[in-house]
Structure 1
Amino acid sequence: MKKIVDVAAGVITRPDGSFLLGQRAPGTFYPGYWEFPGGKVEPGETPAAALVRELDEELGIRVHALNPWLMREHHYEHAHVRLHFFEVHDWSGEVNDHVHSALAWQWADRLKVAPMLPANGPILKALRLPRAMGITHAGEIGVAAQLAALDAALSAGLRLVQVREPLLDEDERGAFAVEVVRRAHAAGALVVINGDEALARACGADGVHLRAVQLAALEARPDLPWVGASCHSRTELERAAALELDYAVLGAVRETPTHPGQAALGWDGFGRLAAELSIPVLALGGVAPADMSAARASGAHGIAAIRGAWAA
């Protein structure tokens, strides 16, 4: 059995949304492959401290803030690697490479370099997942009001919508889903349908969002481009990760009108449950766009909201 080697990797970003990749040099394992910069965690180091040190040594940049993000394991021929990914959004200095053959700033939806190091490849899809999810509630506020709020949110940059309409009857829900998909796709946004794979396929949505009870009964991931699930415990989060879903939604961070009396996790509780998972986790429950920084500092990929997503 190979010893597990802990490695810290950084998703170093610029304000334009691009991130940095490095090409492995000749004489190393997988020469010519592209990877996220980072390196081995030394004895006595935390992964975060190791990444700060490695980025200084490899690139000459100083990290001022980083957020925990994902943890993935990969079995290479030479090692069993545990990769701790951090998002590095606050750094300074001029990038000067010391160990790679080349460096390139890239975007996840239009990658121009290849091949990616196998352990790093799945990270690219996670980077394509929008940071904010708006969850519809047309059954409460009316279809016309929800579609007006959707248009406003799409114009403001929302790029991920979950259609969740338990109060609409089947025909109303189907017609509403078709209209949401039409408007969202015109704006370049993704749409997932809550709990109904058949409706997701029928209305041309991008995927399905599974309820926790559906996740528990699931034997294999549905064959759709985007699949996520609602989770309330570490066991459910690990189940979603084992099935290689694209994301999970965890809550509630704060008490909400939807679930009055339900104990809130708080950001510390959220961070403990979501730590070191292989899939992105969105924070749900009384959150709004103003909470994005706190969410990501706690290890969330972003936020999911019902009322908070549609506020003017």
Structure 2
Amino acid sequence: MPSAERGAGSALDIDLDPSLIFAKWTGVAGALLAVSGGPDSLALLLMATIWSRESGTRVFAATVDHGLRPEAAEEAAYVGEIGAALGVPHAVLTWRGPHPKTRIQELAREARYRLLSEHARDVGANVLMTAHHADDQAETILFRLLHGSGVAGLAGIREETQAYGLTLARPLLHLRKPELEQVCADNNVPFISDPSNKDSQYARTRMRELTALLEAEGLGPEQWRRFARRMAGADEVLRRAVSDARAHIAKETSTDSVRLDVQRLKRQPVDVIAGVVEAEITSFLASADSIRLDRLERSAQALREALDGGRIWKGTLAGAILNLDRSGSLTIAKEGPRQRGRGPRKGN
């Protein structure tokens, strides 16, 4: 366990320019930093402290203790010592209650963001900052590529998104992990090494090994960054096409269904049809299940083929029943309990 006795004083040594790194968020009501004690988040804390002093923007720090490792409480206390030395208020947020036996990483992430967002509101911060960096970006895109993500997923980690009623900011996306480790070293701030980062049972570890191999072949962070930028652009084009298509569709809404004149959609690409169907299901059924991309694409393809042939079609998707008649009218209604689990199917 590192000691906070050295470093993290009032005079910080930062070669990078925090005023540029955090410029986009200068003047916000307040920023809560998610700090685990690793090199990435400690570098975020060190650089954000300088930014706060120079800009007057209020910053806070918080560490989430998931209760999954016995040393987690001691690590959180260490981050608190660093925060105290820097003059940054720090809180330890604990994930309480019974923990699940399966999907532990996914559910721990959900709990982490829930706890952080609640604390951000408590301290008056409207921005939550995490220490995702360029190496995380490469690993994320590769993971999503291998698991069949669409263009939205392949855009990778966005610099800024809106969620949990907050702005989620990732100011370090253009920096590499060794640069962040150097920030800690230059300021005599030891960091904590998470042993799970070397455990190959976790997908993130395997992606890290793969990205290292790909970088040796010339596919490094700059190339991944360019790829993410292009995918984000493609996603924006698709979103606008979907929005335009929806704006030209006549719609009738009742308490238990929505009826759409989708005749025009037969001239649209399948991806646009899929986007329209997804948007309508999501807006109609607030509690809709997560829509799997492969099922959505199959439904959109079947819908377009039925429109082209002037045929009826019926399918189920994410808790909704979809009925297309020969006139090109699509009705979306909530699926009944006995029908759940059936996949989309073609009509006669």
Category of TM-score, reference length = shorter chain: under 0.3
Task: Compare the two structures and name the one with the higher strand fraction.
Answer: 1
Q: TM-score, normalised by structure 2?
A: 0.25
Higher-Rg member (1/2): 2
Task: Compare the two structures and name the one with the higher helix fraction.
Answer: 2
Q: TM-score, normalised by structure 1?
A: 0.27
